[in-house]
Amino acid sequence: AVPSVRLSPAARSLFDEPLAIAVQGLGPQQQVTLRTSLRDETGELFQACARYQAGDDGELDLTRCPALPGGSFSGLEPMGLLWALQPQKPFWYMMKRDVQSPFLLQLEVLEGHGDPPGRLLARAQHERAFLRDGVRRIPVREGRIRATLFLPPGESPFPGIIDIHGLGRGLFEHRASLLANHGFATLALAYYQYEDLPQKPTLLHLEYFEEALNYMLQHPQVKGPGVGLLGYSKGADLSLAMAAFLKNITAVASLNGSVAITVLPLCYKDKTIQSLIMDEQRVKVTDSSFLDYSDAFDDPFQAPGNQSLIPIEKIEAQLLFIVGQDDRVNKSEYHATEVCKILQAQGKENFQILSCPGTGHCIDPPFFPLYSRGNHPIFHKRAVLGGQLGAYSKAQVHAWPQIQSFFHKYL
């Protein structure tokens, strides 16, 4: 028999969906190395490999066969060849700017467990897509808003979510597009360094975000009476501030955010919330010469007058705090825990915390590569962002359906 790769779905799957991988036609107990490769939009190569041994029947099914030590991972990990992808260029983050085109995944079966492995026995390629058939991508240029709206196929109206990214410059559509596949009308919102938005803002205006909220509330295909907010990092403190000061926000999911305003002061009408003070003197240098900024911010609960704290007690929306226990950019678990104590003391029950062990600052949808060291989002210096490979992959897979069920429940 000639070895061949069997994938299910065969040709194309959504990026956040599992992919079943099997190899048939091998010799009994034959040793092989499986290698996956993917190039991002800039041409950078990501790879993962794992060592396997076929069964007595020459079949190798990754749902039943554990990976042997010596590759990118070991143990029974059916999706390991996807979540363990790592950039060949150090400290590179996998980005998807154009969600209308899929990533192309290459899978090779190589002879033996050598390093480098032996000859090529079989190969397959597979598209990992961001848009399900029928999802509409609509660029939004209304008033000052610069955004993209994703509308699911089928009967509207749909529950609406505004997705606000961290300090990563520009417009990020990967999470919003994937959420639309799950039935949400999702607005990916840019707020600086995009088109005619401010290039280097010194402060942010809540009125801009209010405009985006009103756009969603008035959209005929968005189900009222309220919308949800999904904020990551800086986007999380912006989402909490929106929920504290604006009406018709029903549910907020905060991904590794602060409960204080960070980096850029926030203005609304005649009020300004100053950003949390940061002291570069408190930055530590790790043994591998990376910077650790985890203690750089002031503690917002100890700061005089709490001047940067968001008045979270005013929020009527349901709150879901998703926090990485190894977040080295924000003390997100501490912030969420402390603020929930305050809410509890006031008799409120509108909050829950999902705490993810071994997870750093970056929490992307499932199967995005771990980004544990790279450019700090504020200082643009090489920094520790946190996270361990296996634990992070489990956290992604666990958190993603929780985010969806949270929004389905409250929207």
| 343: helix, strand or coil | helix
Decide if 279 is catalytic.
Answer: no
pLDDT at residue 280 above 90?
no
User: Residues 48, 72: contact at Cβ < 8 Å?
Assistant: yes
- Average pLDDT score over residue span 82-106: 95
Residues of each domain in the chain carrying CATH 3.40.50.1820? 136-410
- Average pLDDT score over residue span 96-119: 95
Cα distance between the two ends of the chain = 54
- Average pLDDT score over residue span 299-317: 89
Decide if 292 is catalytic.
Answer: no
Active-site pick, 16, 327, 332, 364: 327
What is the number of residues in the chain? 411
**Mean pLDDT over the full length of the chain:** 95
pLDDT at residue 10 above 70?
yes
Question: Residue 391 has what pLDDT?
Answer: 96
Question: Residue 305 has what pLDDT?
Answer: 67
Torsion angles phi and psi, residue 86, rounded to 5:
-135, 145
Decide if 288 is catalytic.
Answer: no
Q: Encode burial over 74-112: b for 16+ CB neighbours within 10 A, e otherwise.
A: eeebbbbbbbbbbbeeeebbbebeebeebbebebbbbbe
Distance, CA of 240 to CA of 224 (rounded, Å): 20
Sheet strand arrangement including 266-268: 204-205, 266-268, 271-273
| CATH number at 136-410 | 3.40.50.1820
Active-site pick, 13, 177, 233, 308: 233
- Average pLDDT score over residue span 139-166: 96
Whole-structure pTM value = 0.96
pLDDT at residue 314 above 70?
yes
How many distinct helices (H) and strands (E) make up the chain? 6, 24
Read off the pLDDT of residues 229-247 as tens digits, 9 standing for 90 and up: 999 999 999 999 999 999 9
Active-site pick, 165, 182, 335, 361: 361
Report residue 148's pLDDT band, with 50, 70 and 90 as the boundaries. very high
Residues of each domain in the chain carrying CATH 2.60.40.2240? 4-129
Report residue 288's pLDDT band, with 50, 70 and 90 as the boundaries. confident
**Is CATH 2.60.40.2240 the right assignment for the domain spanning 4-129?**
yes
| 386: helix, strand or coil | coil
pLDDT at residue 401 above 70?
yes
User: Residues 180, 186: contact at Cβ < 8 Å?
Assistant: yes
Read off the pLDDT of residues 34-79 as tens digits, 9 standing for 90 and up: 999 999 999 999 999 999 999 999 999 999 999 999 999 999 999 9
Three-state secondary structure readout of 36-56: EEEECCCCCEEEEEEEEECCC
